[in-house]
Amino acid sequence: MAAAQKQERTPETRLQRVLVIACGMIAREILAVKQQLGLDHIDLTCLPAEYHFYPDRIAPAMDKAIEQARSDGYRHIFVGYADCGTGGLLDRICEKHGVERMAGPHCFAFYQGLEAYRKVEDADMMSFYMTDFLCRQFDAFFIKPLGLDRHPELVTDYFGNYEKLIYLAQTDDPALDAVAENAARMLGLVYERRSTGYGDLVPGLARAAPPAL
């Protein structure tokens, strides 16, 4: 839907708007913040959520997406990613195009807020994070790709070094809580729930202000 909205804009209209090019894992949350803050100047398009597993694909895909957005008439672009495992390569793309991205190492950090994350980063070293998206897509993003539906004995191989599952909850949804709790039980991990809301995504998107006319 976001991509379709982008295509419906005329080049003249796009000059006055901000395009957020984001990870598909946070699309729902960006739209929620947009509505919450009344950020009507923002358009959204997303790269595939599966790049969460292939961070080497993020920077080159973002490079192409920004070039396409410029060609479509967008001068004002905001990158809806943290570093997300690119090892600084995404920052090089942002610098190349003169655009800003979400601050922080990954969405698990900016959902908690970078200041709060720094205080728990070391203690959470052996923790497996889940978000609303990952709860909704737990089977599609973890169970099936890792083959745990066919070989549940692999749980120890994949998750044996974790001690805790921490659900970073963007919303209060009992169904998602149940998924996270069941996941912790299945993986043999201690369960913790942190109600984060949208964290630094709110000020981050708020800074993507509409250009002055």
Tokens of 170: 């963007």
Distance CA 31, CA 25 (A): 12
pLDDT on residue 152: 86
Contacts of 66 (CB under 8 A, 6+ apart): 21, 77, 93, 97, 99
Q: In what order do the strands lie in the sheet with 18-23?
A: 42-47, 18-23, 76-80, 100-101
Q: Which sign does the torsion angle of CA 56, 59, 64, 69 carry?
A: positive
Q: Which amino acid is at 135?
A: C
CB 146 within 8 A of CB 101: no
Q: Where are the domains of the chain?
A: 2-107+199-207, 114-195
Q: Could you list the pLDDT tens digit for every one of the 213 residues in the chain?
A: 344 444 466 666 777 799 999 999 999 999 999 999 999 999 999 999 999 989 999 999 999 999 999 999 999 999 999 999 999 999 999 999 999 999 999 999 999 999 999 999 999 999 999 999 999 999 998 888 888 889 888 888 888 899 999 999 999 999 999 999 999 998 999 999 999 999 999 999 998 876 654
Question: Token pair 């149940």 is at which residue?
Answer: 178
pLDDT at 2: 44
Check: CATH 3.40.50 for 2-107+199-207?
A: yes
The tokens describing 138, both together, are 């737990």
Q: What are phi and psi of 85, to 5 degrees?
A: 80, 10
Output the pLDDT for position 155. 86
Q: Which two tokens stand for residue 168?
A: 């970073």
pLDDT of 65 reads 98
Is this structure's pTM higher than 0.75? yes
Report which of 139, 160, 136 is spatially closest to residue 148, judged by C-alpha positions. Answer: 139
